[in-house]
Chain A
């Protein structure tokens, strides 16, 4: 059998017999690729901008700066206590009703569903990241901070050279969780008409009047993405937390010997 014949046979099987027309899905790889690109970009935007906003907030919380600290705690509570979908709707549908917003300089940004989704992700992720970094800062041993002060470092220098590197390293496992969490949350971008992975699936389904084939493809893509992120972050974690891992490994050997 020649390759073209085989291909024709596969196409026929896919269309007539197989419960899922996988050839049709594969022939629309381009829209799913757009979806993957948008999902990854949105998640990266949310994580990076979330981190930029969250780090100063976490330091303010950690130093217990009056008023500011309470205000940040309130922000975190409100964002973590309400659905991200509603937050994204407020940005996209809610703000657009005000004349002042529509005439302001930020309108070109708030007009775009992509940026509304991205900003919603950044705000949402910032609230979760504040708590992660605060936990990391609180976990820095007192001795490290005292040692930095003892050799004459200023507070800022101690923060930059000693405390933050130590704290952020501790946050890595939690950040891995947060990345997966945001990737899961990013599916709501499709509700704002963005073509992310799920948006691509919905468009694909609508085009061919299918019920679930696109969602099945999206499910598989999300699983691959989650798997990829877990692997990459696991690698980074092992690299940066090497000194801690070694110690726990020796501990384990010691306990086994006992």
Chain B
């Protein structure tokens, strides 16, 4: 227990990095998801096909494998591009940045499906009604679709967020010092990895429990206007 207390700030720092990584990746995933859903719903056949390939590809490859591929492959690609165009010399990807991009890229695919599903759940009669009273496409999106989209998408975004947070545990493979990585090194130094791993697990559980509470509050807020089926 003593050793755990001695390393408390290291664990706090690791938790901060994990949380920050999670939140940044979530934002990127939401942006990609909205774009992907827009492409799947309103895009032309080419855009739709690209979005379809993207979601199928991401959802059939393990996140750890994808992370390694994007990190090492992306780095090589970036450097080859630099050599060919002569725009930049050797660059090394920052591990945090790479982590955000990979996790955002992976969960963007899940978010695409989330937003597409949410869009489909909006009763089509509402959209037809809005068009019928003469609203433009922009107005329909701004006044009718978007406010309800969040309400319908929220439960699924919540599930994705919890999975995303757990996925951040994998970033230690690409060299980012996150909670797992700090905890493991502290555990190895003190020759007591068990207690540190338990602490890491407890911190993740804390994050999950806190997320659940926040989500419940958000959900209550965003679905205020919806009629409940009894």
Residues of chain A touching chain B, judged by Cβ–Cβ distance below 8 Å, are 77-78, 81-87, 89-90, 93-95, 97-98, 183-188, 190-191, 197-198, 201-202, 205, 211-212, 215-216, 218-219, 222-223, 226-227
Kindly state the separation between the CA atoms of A198 and B69 in the bound complex, as whole angstroms: 10
Say how far A200's CB is from chain B's closest CB, in angstroms. 11
Say how far A123's CB is from chain B's closest CB, in angstroms. 13
- Whether B193 contacts A85 by the Cβ 8 Å rule is no
Cβ-defined partner of B63 (8 Å) among A81, A184, A201, A205 = A184
Kindly state the separation between the CA atoms of A171 and B170 in the bound complex, as whole angstroms: 30
* A-B pairs under 8 A by CB, number: 111
Residues 196-218 of B at the A interface (beta carbon under 8 Å): 197-198, 200-201, 204-205, 208-209
Q: Is B223 engaged at the interface, CB distance under 8 Å to the other chain? A: no
Q: Give a binary string over B61-81; 1 marks a CB under 8 Å from any A CB, 0 the rest.
A: 111111011001101100000
Which listed segment binds A: B27-35, B119-127, B184-192?
Answer: B184-192
- Whether A191 contacts B173 by the Cβ 8 Å rule is yes
Say how far A162's CB is from chain B's closest CB, in angstroms. 29
Residues 158-195 of B at the A interface (beta carbon under 8 Å): 162, 166-167, 169-170, 173, 180, 184, 187, 191-194
Given known pairs A93-B187, A94-B198, A215-B72, the reply for A81 and B62 (CB within 8 Å) is: no
Per the CB 8 Å criterion, the residue count for chain B at the interface is 35
A190: B residues at CB distance < 8 A: 64
- Whether A90 contacts B166 by the Cβ 8 Å rule is no
- Whether B194 contacts A86 by the Cβ 8 Å rule is no
Residues of chain B touching chain A, judged by Cβ–Cβ distance below 8 Å, are 57, 60-66, 68-69, 72-73, 75-76, 162, 166-167, 169-170, 173, 180, 184, 187, 191-194, 197-198, 200-201, 204-205, 208-209
Say how far B67's CB is from chain A's closest CB, in angstroms. 9
A227: B residues at CB distance < 8 A: 60
Say how far A227's CB is from chain B's closest CB, in angstroms. 7
Say how far B175's CB is from chain A's closest CB, in angstroms. 14
- Whether B62 contacts A94 by the Cβ 8 Å rule is no
A97: B residues at CB distance < 8 A: 191-194
Kindly state the separation between the CA atoms of A234 and B208 in the bound complex, as whole angstroms: 33
B208: A residues at CB distance < 8 A: 81-82
Cβ-defined partner of A188 (8 Å) among B69, B170, B184, B204 = B170
Kindly state the separation between the CA atoms of A219 and B200 in the bound complex, as whole angstroms: 29
B57: A residues at CB distance < 8 A: 223
Q: Which residue of A lies closest to B170 (CB)?
A: A85
Given known pairs A82-B204, A82-B205, A215-B73, the reply for A184 and B180 (CB within 8 Å) is: no
B201: A residues at CB distance < 8 A: 78, 82, 86-87, 90
Cβ-defined partner of A226 (8 Å) among B60, B72, B167, B209 = B60
- Whether A94 contacts B61 by the Cβ 8 Å rule is no
The secondary-structure label for the interface of chain B is helix
Q: Which residue of B lies closest to A222 (CB)?
A: B61
Given known pairs A81-B208, A82-B201, A82-B204, the reply for A188 and B180 (CB within 8 Å) is: no
Instruction: Sample 13 A-B pairs with CB under 8 A, ordered by A number.
Output: A81-B208, A82-B205, A83-B166, A84-B166, A89-B184, A94-B198, A198-B62, A198-B64, A211-B75, A215-B73, A218-B65, A219-B65, A227-B60
Kindly state the separation between the CA atoms of A98 and B193 in the bound complex, as whole angstroms: 10
Given known pairs A90-B197, A95-B194, the reply for A212 and B62 (CB within 8 Å) is: no
B191: A residues at CB distance < 8 A: 97
Say how far B210's CB is from chain A's closest CB, in angstroms. 11
What are the 5 A-B residue pairs with the smallest beta carbon separation, nearest first?
A83-B169, A212-B73, A187-B62, A94-B194, A81-B208
- Whether B197 contacts A89 by the Cβ 8 Å rule is yes
Given known pairs A90-B197, A215-B65, A216-B73, the reply for A85 and B60 (CB within 8 Å) is: no
Given known pairs A94-B197, A186-B62, the reply for A85 and B180 (CB within 8 Å) is: yes
A198: B residues at CB distance < 8 A: 62, 64-65, 68
B162: A residues at CB distance < 8 A: 81
Kindly state the separation between the CA atoms of A227 and B59 in the bound complex, as whole angstroms: 11
Say how far B74's CB is from chain A's closest CB, in angstroms. 8
Say how far B194's CB is from chain A's closest CB, in angstroms. 4
- Whether B204 contacts A86 by the Cβ 8 Å rule is yes
Kindly state the separation between the CA atoms of A97 and B170 in the bound complex, as whole angstroms: 23
A219: B residues at CB distance < 8 A: 61, 65-66, 69
Kindly state the separation between the CA atoms of A188 and B62 in the bound complex, as whole angstroms: 9
